[in-house]
Amino acid sequence: MAGLYPHIKHAHWLFIMLSVILFNIKFWWVYRHPTQSTLPVALRFLPPSNDTMLLFTGMMMMTIAKWPLFGAGAWLGLKLLFVVIYIMLGILCLRSQPRTKKFYIFYVLAMITVSSVAWMAHCKLSFSCHFFANWV
């Protein structure tokens, strides 16, 4: 099972990128079409499917690597808490009236939160870590 870890990790990264891209597409769709009340079918069903695969691959990596959720360093538990905050901010953003302060503030906060999640995943809460170091 440990031999599958690199493949699962790369799939997890792909699902992360797709999740952020789909959120941004939804944001810009709502921004460009403020009077339209419904999203296209693909933007309603693709993000939950992608996020399910994201959760599944994350749980597989936790199982293979034997990471405790709130174990040494607690970076994983804090990261998952920030993921929940990111989801809530995304929901608040997309449910806000388009082109209002709330709409923009929730979007910016969601992007800051997802950037924090990426930093936590890469650096494991080490402040001496350089974010883009060793990304190969």
Q: What distances in angstroms separate CA 32 from CA 20, 23, 25, 102, one per listed residue?
A: 18, 14, 10, 16
Q: What distances in angstroms separate CA 107 from CA 46, 89, 91, one per listed residue?
A: 20, 7, 10
pLDDT digits (tens, 9 = 90+) for 26-48: 999 999 998 887 889 999 899 98
Give me the pLDDT at residue 93, please: 95
Running DSSP on this structure, what letter comes out for residue 96?
Answer: S
pLDDT digits (tens, 9 = 90+) for 55-109: 899 889 888 988 887 776 678 888 888 999 999 999 999 999 999 999 999 999 9
Give me the pLDDT at residue 130, please: 66
Helix (H), strand (E) counts: the chain? 4, 0
Above 70 in pLDDT, residue 10?
yes
